[in-house]
Amino acid sequence: MKINVNEQGHLTIGGCDALELAQNYETPLVVYDVAQIRQQLRSYQEAFKQQQISAVVSYASKAFCAKAIYQVVQQEGAHVDVVSAGELATALAAGFDPQNISYHGNNKSLAELDFAIAQQVGVLVVDNFYELTLLQSLLHYKYPRQTIQVMLRITPGISAHTHEYDQTGQIDSKFGFDVNSGQAEKALQQVLQNPQLDLIGIHAHIGSQIMAVAGFELLVAKLCQLAHAWQQKYHFETKILNLGGGFGIRYTDSDEPLTAQQFVEAIVQTLRKEWVNSDSELPQVWIEPGRAIVGNAGVSLYTIGSKKTIPHVRTFLTVDGGMGDNIRPALYQAQYEAVLARAPLAAAEQTVTVAGRYCESGDVLISQQALPATQPGDILAVLATGAYGYSMASNYNRIGRPAVVFAEEGQGQIVVAREEIVDLMHLDQDYVKENE
Ligand SMILES: *Cc1c(COP(=O)(O)O)cnc(C)c1O
C-alpha cells in the first residue's frame, strides 16, 4: 500500500498530517485524498482516449455519496450513477448536471421515477417489467409530451468476482432482464413500441472487486452478439454499451489489481473484434466504477482505547469506531490493513486484532494486524476504506456517524459533519398514551 509521510514521519493524506486532522476534527474520521479520486477518474478517461474510442466514465455514487464527491466528479467531466431519490437529490443539490446522471435500481418507486423524469435525469436504466409498466403509465398520463432516454439492464448470464467468473451463475439475479429466457427481447419490443422511450443503450453489471479481464471480455462479446441480433431482427442500433462497474482495488498487500488501462484495453479490443463484421457504427462504451474511484482514496482514522491480551490466544486493540462506520469486515469478511499514524513505517512489535466499540462480537475491523508498540490515544489509520464504508454506515448503538474530510494539496475541509447526539434524536417523538 502506498503510504505518504511528512518530515515528522507522520502519515499524510492529501498532504495533510493525519495526526493534525484527527486532532482538529476528532475521531473516528473518514479522510479522502481528493487528488487520488481525480487521478482514478482520469486514469479511466485517459485509457479510453488512448484506445481512441468514445466513452463515458460514470461514477457509481453508492460507493460514497455526499455533495462534495458529486462536485469533484463534475469537475472531472465524468457522469454519475444514482440508485435512489436520496442520491439523486444529493447530486442535484451539489449542482450536478442532471443530463449526466443515470438512475439505476431494481425497485424504483413510482415517486422516484416521477422525480427522475421531472428533474430530467439523463438516463433511466430500466430493470424489470413492473418498472416498465410504471414508467409507461407515468409518461402517458403525467408527461405526455416528454421523451426520456432509457437503457435496458440485462442479465447476461456472466458473473465475475475477483479472479473467477461464472457463465451461468448470474441468471439467478434479482437485477435485470434475463437474456436466455427471452425476457430481454420482450422488454426490447415493449420499449421500441413506445415513442416516449428512447432506447440508447444496453446495460449489464457483472460483479465487484474484479481482478481479471476475462469476465469483461465475455460480457462485451455477449452484449455485441445481442446488439447484432437486435439490429438484424428489429433494426435497433444501440448507441451505447454500458458494462457496469466492478473494477477491483488493493485492500491489502496480497491484492494485485489490474490498472484502468489493462481493463480498458481488454474491453476495447474485444469490442473491435466483435464489431468487425457489423455495418452499424461502433457504439460508445460506458463504464460505472464505484469502488475503483474512491476506495483507495479513503482512510479511516480512529483513536486507540483499550487493549486486552488473552495469553496464548490474541490481543484485542479496540478503537473508537467499528462496524457502525465500516460494516464490510463483519458483513463479508472484508480485509483491511492499518498503520499507526504517528509512525506508519516503524517496525512491528506486536500482532493485534483491531476490534470496534460496537456491541457485537463480530465487530472486528482487522483480524490480524502487525503494529509498532501502541499507547491509548494513538491514532490508527485503516487504509482503503473509501468505498462502501461511510455509505453503509449505521447508527447502531446510537452512535453518530463520523465526519468526512476532503484533503487536497495540504488543505483539509469538512464535507460531511459529524453526526452529533442531538442529530441522533432528531426523528424521535415522545410516546404519550391517550386518556391518561
Ligand atoms: C454497484 C454498481 C456499480 C459499482 O460497482 P463497483 O464494484 O463499486 O465498481 C456499478 N454499476 C452498477 C449497476 C452497480 O450496481
Q: Where are the domains of the chain?
A: 12-32+297-424, 51-294
CATH class of residue range 12-32+297-424: mainly beta
Fold classification of 51-294 is TIM Barrel (3.20.20)
Which backbone phi and psi does 380 adopt, to 5 degrees? -105, 130
Please tell me the distance from the alpha carbon of residue 254 to that of residue 244, in angstroms, as a whole number: 25
223-270 pLDDT, tens per residue? Answer: 999 999 999 999 999 999 999 999 999 999 999 999 999 999 999 999
Residue 417 has pLDDT above 80, yes or no: yes
pLDDT at 87: 98
Q: How much distance in Å is there from the Cα of 221 to the middle of ligand 1? A: 20
Residues labelled catalytic: 359
- CA-CA-CA-CA torsion sign (216, 221, 226, 230): positive
Kindly report the average pLDDT of the chain as a whole number: 96
- Integer angstrom CA distances of residue 157 from 86, 191, 218, 366: 30, 22, 10, 34
Sheet holding 16-17, edge to edge: 4-5, 11-13, 16-17
* Alpha carbon distance 220, 182 (integer Å): 19
Q: Is the pLDDT of residue 324 over 90?
A: yes
Q: Is 191 helix (H, G, I), strand (E, B) or coil?
A: helix
Residues annotated within a binding site? 246, 288-291, 328, 332, 360, 388
Residue 165 has a pLDDT of 78
Choose the weakest-confidence range: 172-181, 250-259, 304-313, 321-330: 172-181
Instruction: Return the ∠ at Cα 362 (arms to 419 and 403), rounded to 5°.
Output: 15
For ligand 1, what atom is nearest to the CA of residue 63? 8
pLDDT tens digit string along 153-180? 999 988 888 777 777 557 778 889 999 9
Name the closest-CA residue to atom 7, ligand 1: 246
d(CA 339, CA 312): 24
Please give all residues whose beta carbon lies within 6 A of any atom in ligand 1, as ranges. Answer: 60, 62-63, 81, 104, 205, 208, 244-247, 288-292, 387
- Contact between residue 241 and residue 283 where contact means Cβ atoms under 8 Å apart: yes
Tell me the per-residue pLDDT of 186-229, one tens digit each, with 9 for 90 and over: 999 999 999 999 999 999 999 999 999 999 999 999 999 999 99
314 CA → ligand 1 middle, Å: 37
Indicate the Cα dihedral angle 329, 332, 334, 340, nearest 10°.
0
Query: Would you say residue 435 has pLDDT above 80?
Result: no
User: Distance, CA 79 to ligand 1 centroid (Å)?
Assistant: 13
Residue with cell 458483513: 331
Return all residues near 201 (Cβ < 8 A) that are at least 6 apart.
123, 151, 152, 238, 239, 240, 241, 242, 283, 284, 286
Please give the average per-residue pLDDT across 5-16, as a whole number. 98
Q: Residue positions in the annotated binding site for pyridoxal 5'-phosphate?
A: 246, 288-291, 388
Give the three cell numbers for residue 4: 505518504
- The residue contributing the CA closest to ligand 1 atom 15 is 205
Q: Given this model, what pLDDT does residue 436 score?
A: 62
* Gap from CA of 119 to ligand 1 centroid (Å): 23
